[in-house]
A and B are shown apart, each in its own frame.
Chain A
Amino acid sequence: MASSPFSVGAGEQEVSDPARETFRQRMRRMMRPPRRLAFTRAGKFFMLLTLAVGAGALNTGNNLLFLLLGMMLSAIIASGILSEAVLRKLWLERRAPSRIFANRAAAGSFKLNNPRSYLSLNIEISERNATCEVGPIAGQEIGHKDVPAYKFWVEDSFDGDDYVAIARMPELGPGETKHTQALYNFPFRGRYKSPGMRLATRFPFGIFHKIVEVDHEREFIVFPEPAPADDWAADVAARFGDIARNRAGSGEEYFGLRDWREGEDRRQIHWKSSARRGSFVVRESEEQEQRAVEIILLHATGHKSPAPAYMKDAFEEGLRKTAGLLEELVAQRYRVALRTLDGATDAGEGVTHLDRMLHQLATLTLHEGSPSALPATRVSSGGPMRNDVARVGIGFGSALDQCPETFDLSLVVDQSTEEV
């Protein structure tokens, strides 16, 4: 989803697709007040003191207490007006990181524009709590736990690192646009949905935290954190030779064009392209020695009963290790294809291809029972995987045993321990 600028003025918030909103979501959006206020610790005491002074004034009729009450109420009113002035009509954009790994901070940024003729101070921008849709914590929210305002006795921390992403901007001049870096933190892999962002400020006295929620949905795919998979990589290398190549060589497949160098055989010059370009170029062919691996991930328990917790942990550990293996294989220039029970990624190379496979890993779930038929993968656009491709099966021992397919190499995910 492309990020787009929008105003955060009240009533002007965007919803990515109102048609897809459920009734509950819609009601929640409509019932939501345009601003939320939270007390800071000092603010709670300030409010209690104001209430006490107000009660005293009303009871005794002491006018000096009314005067003091006037001052305290004025401070509250000033807080309301000035914090509103800080947040009003700001334009906010999100530049989310393209690759996010679980448990690793990923750099993104927020872009804030102040189209008004006065400055804004002490602005806090954060990603709202994201809900995990697919993944080990599916259905749960991650991010800062908001303390309801009525629970004034519960101390709320606004400095916590539990935000999905948070950034602060001490000042934003009139007409100014600024970028501020924010680190995105997701503890687990999966597909998350963030409803939007929030702008907040404690200006001017630090007694209230005024929050504006900005509706701007975005989906985040969080890749599993790659775990070291040297042993698995060594097994693959031992079985299929050390080097897999994907480089220019003496094959027949077209690899690319490059400038002709002095001293090279002129017969190699590709005249048609040279005429087009106005300089000599040479046509290169792909080396045929490249090795291809097909990873077949059997994300099934192999049992009919629901998976116990330790198995789920072991599954996550297995995924992390698989991610590590994929990273390793791509780094060693293997052509890698990934086949799971839910889908398949055709063989390919490079970082973009790796991301495609990690994306697939990010959204896997552990199936119950024995692994059934697996979808086919293709080595290239030309046809199905060739027979010389190494087929590596990864899964729990029970799943590998029950799988109808045969593998050149089976990598068993250890499920003997509950600790991951």
Chain B
Amino acid sequence: MFALQKLARRHEILMYLCALLSFLAVATGGLGILMNGFFILCWAFSWFAHGRGWTEKVPTQIWNGIILTTVAITGAQMYLTEESIITIGVRFILLLLIIKLFSRKGGERDDWQIYALTFLLMAAGTAINEDVAYGVVFALYVFFVTFGLALFHMYTETSRLKATSIRREGMARVYQVALVLLSGAVFLSSVTIFFVFPRVGLGFFAPKTRSAQAMTGFSDKVELGSHGVIRDNPEVVLRVEFPSGSMPSDAPSYHWRMLSYDSYDGVKWERSTKGKAFNLSFDSQTRTYDLSQLYTKKLDEAVDTSGHQPRTIRVYMEPLGVSQGPQIWPMQSYVLPQTIPLPFNPKAAWLRYDTRYQDIYIQQRNEVGIVMEMAIHPEPDRALYEDVVFNLETKQGAIEFANIEPFLQLPEGMGRMRQLAEQVTATATTPYKKAAIIEEYLKANYTYTTNLPQVDKNNPVEGFLFDSKKGHCEFFATSMALMLRAAGVPSRVVNGFLGGVWNSAGEYMAVRQGDAHAWVEVYIPEYGWVPFDPTPSAGTQPLQQTGITAQLRDLYDAARMNWMRYVIEYDLDSQIEGLRALSKMLSPSSRTFLNESSDAEQEEEKPSEGGVQTRDLILWVVFLLILWRSFRNGRLYYTTNPRIYGGITIPPAAMIAAGAVLWAGLGLGWMRWFTGDDIPLQLVGGGGPLAMTAIAILLGANFGASRDQLASGLFGELERAAMRHGITRETDEGPAAFIARLQELFPAQRASLGRFRALYLGARFGSRELSQEEEAKMREAIKALRREKSPE
């Protein structure tokens, strides 16, 4: 028996699970380990306390007193502390939940209140936990809360009946299976609603934003030695997808340039001026920013003559709290996502370019992740600019040098370094050769380490060059830049990321905070800034971790990326993009109703001639299914009897006409949508359903049968049902006698067959019209006869 107690117990378990899940949804929201531990302890203890009836004797006044105290403490916290209001609120709800778990007396009201508190916690969780973990908790919560609420309802209804059990064990099983299916359906429906619900969030009071990662090394000033701190940070900042689906061999050497510095004061790098940034122009159709317009003429020629096609990569950038955008030298173009031109669109972004520092800034209204495409050229042949020098004799050359002169700044002193620079570059004659020789010198004679030895804090560069000879990328880059400046070559230090690690679970390259790197840009006359990396290869190898932990981390990061991209940052743009894709998929002519694609695209996506497209097939099947469904019991649904709608009688002929017009119109519209202005096909579309209707009539599909014909038809069906059991009507056996014989053979169906006989005889011989209900009853009798076991 599915006892009431059992029902109550199961519901209780599910309710406790819901409470636990809702707690997990907020547990990461800065409540503190003390509160988290306290909740878990109380949650577990309340189960036992309630089971043993310890809390039942506590008077309600005491619980009310505890609630009031909690309210008072929460109020005091709000006024006296600077804690976030959400954290205080969540803690308050958790305390209420604990009190309710202890004080509940098993009444309907108490349990509803617990469910309501778990709902509130789940809602609060959305504000403080945007991680993929929330998604997992949510999925489980949907399952348990659906199951729990349904069992709770069953329990309360059964208690209301004052019954002690539900009658049949079978029903309990069926009910539970149905509940599992229901939970699944509710989850699927939640996801569907999530994707379909229009994202018209106006964000008047709380604009959509995400918490940015805490980045180091990307401020206006960078002190030497700070970089080593972040080397082990696995937090992903960029995720890069390649068109091939695998990581190209040169990808680990990608230098993701973010920010450059021009001035060094002996201890730290900084930017001497604010720079000169302006908005970059872009192609409004494709949102493409052509960066090649920023190249010098020579570089442009060098890229063009290389003959290589640019490689397009897709980069998903996490909100970093800084506005610099990544660049890889030399870059062809930048494509920002298509966004709806609305003033409140949080994803709206545009590029700015700093002409002094050559930095790119991505301007966004809100702190959200961004997906962009980059086209990158391979590095041009270095031999092209190996021998180029400043030509100060020409006016253009003089202007060029004057512009770049600030990048020769050196701090006072540092005589040993200047001397070393002169020594190393003694044989080199051009800026490129000087850069190459210093790069090689540093790589060969110095060791990479993140475990920095003690050096002179006031002169870390000379300490590195002459004393410790060990350091990380910033020391190498700073030393190279300063040595180049000492040798008369304009240079600067740039910060960014190097390479990345391949995430096989998500099939993308993850660039992590730990991949932060510093290198040097050298100004080559007429070609512009060219990157050099003096850090030995030990320091440029990404810290690729292996083992099960790393695999799990990869898996988690892949899940997180998808979660962020498809859930957290899903918006109106994504919806429109989805609709476009859907309309493209459904339309054989690849025309979308939202945006007409270009002719070239149409040409590209034109379906192959002659072949049947799957989408066409699906739609035709659906179309025919609808048509088939409109025939019910062998008759066209609308046309058997006059019908009364709101007191207006509609004759069958009018219904046939209306139905025919509707069908023909639908068919025609459909065809037009699929095939465009093709008149013969439109005729097929419109005429097809009409022809099918006509064929149905001609084939005598009982169309428009009068009620006595209907009765004969039903009797025929009964005869066929009897034949299934091997019973046939004798030639001299009348219908009444035949049914009487069936009644004897199938005693269980005696009543239903008796009713069938009375209705049949009345309709067939008594000029009595069969009502729809009577027809239904006769069909029921036929069905029941079919289901019967054949007599021995």
Contact = CB atoms under 8 A, between A and B. Distances in A.
A77 interface: yes
Contacts of B208: 60-62
A206 B152 contact: yes
B297 interface: no
Interface stretch (A66-74, A97-105, A286-294, A312-320): A66-74
Interface in B563-586: 567-571
B354 to A, nearest CB: 31
Contacts of A234: none
Contacts of B199: 61, 66
B192 interface: yes
B773 interface: yes
Interface in B136-166: 138, 142, 145-146, 149-150, 152-154, 156-158, 160-161, 163, 166
Given A59-B205, A204-B182, A205-B149, A64 B647 contact: no
B202 interface: yes
B550 interface: no
Given A12-B773, A205-B149, A61 B201 contact: yes
B509 to A, nearest CB: 26
A321 B120 CA distance: 62
Contacts of A204: 149-150, 153, 182
Contacts of B773: 5-7, 12
Contacts of A66: 194, 197, 199
A331 interface: no
Contact of A78 (B123, B185, B207, B647): B185
B182 A64 contact: no
Interface string B604-642: 000000000000000000000000000000000000000
A202 B155 CA distance: 12
B200 interface: yes
Given A59-B204, A64-B568, A75 B174 contact: no
B189 A122 contact: no
Contacts of B154: 121-122
A373 B153 CA distance: 63
Given A7-B776, A170-B167, A171-B171, A63 B186 contact: no
Contacts of B163: 170
Contact of B206 (A41, A60, A71): A60
Nearest to B192: A70
A64 B167 contact: no
B185 A203 contact: no
B130 interface: yes
B123 A65 contact: yes
B402 interface: no
Interface stretch (A50-58, A268-276, A393-401, A412-420): A50-58
A78 B187 CA distance: 11
B125 A58 contact: no
B282 to A, nearest CB: 25
Contact of A61 (B193, B346, B567): B346
Contacts of B780: 115
Nearest to A91: B773
Nearest to B129: A64
B203 A64 contact: no
Contacts of A60: 201, 203, 205-208
Interface string A72-99: 1111011000100000000000000000
Given A159-B160, A168-B160, A63 B149 contact: no
B657 to A, nearest CB: 22
A57 B167 contact: no
B186 A78 contact: yes
Interface residues of B, number: 68
Contacts of B197: 66, 69-70
Interface in B287-319: none
A49 interface: yes
A74 B112 contact: no
A59 B201 contact: yes
A2 interface: no
A276 to B, nearest CB: 33
B116 interface: yes
B126 interface: yes
A171 B170 CA distance: 12
A119 B192 contact: no
A173 interface: yes
Interface string A16-48: 000000000010001000000000011001000
A77 B189 contact: yes
Given A49-B119, A171-B166, A64 B156 contact: no
A58 B200 contact: yes
A64 B570 CA distance: 10
A52 B120 CA distance: 10
Given A60-B201, A64-B568, A65-B123, A70 B157 contact: no
Nearest to A204: B150
A121 B157 CA distance: 10
B728 interface: no
Nearest to A71: B190
A65 B130 CA distance: 11
Interface string B407-419: 0000000000000
B122 interface: yes
B190 A78 contact: no
30 contacts: A7-B773, A7-B776, A30-B647, A42-B112, A49-B120, A58-B201, A60-B201, A61-B199, A61-B346, A62-B208, A64-B138, A67-B135, A68-B122, A68-B126, A70-B189, A71-B145, A74-B189, A75-B186, A78-B146, A78-B182, A78-B185, A82-B182, A121-B175, A159-B160, A171-B167, A171-B168, A171-B171, A202-B157, A204-B153, A206-B149
Interface of B: 108, 112, 116, 119-120, 122-123, 125-127, 130, 134-135, 138, 142, 145-146, 149-150, 152-154, 156-158, 160-161, 163, 166-168, 171, 174-175, 182, 185-187, 189-194, 197, 199-208, 346, 567-571, 646-647, 772-773, 776, 780, 784
What are the 8 tightest A-B residue pairs by CB atom distance, in nearest-first order? Answer: A61-B201, A64-B126, A70-B193, A74-B189, A61-B208, A70-B190, A206-B153, A70-B194
Given A64-B138, A71-B186, A159-B160, 16 more contacts: A42-B108, A59-B201, A59-B205, A61-B201, A62-B208, A64-B125, A66-B194, A66-B199, A67-B135, A69-B194, A71-B187, A74-B187, A121-B175, A170-B166, A175-B784, A205-B152
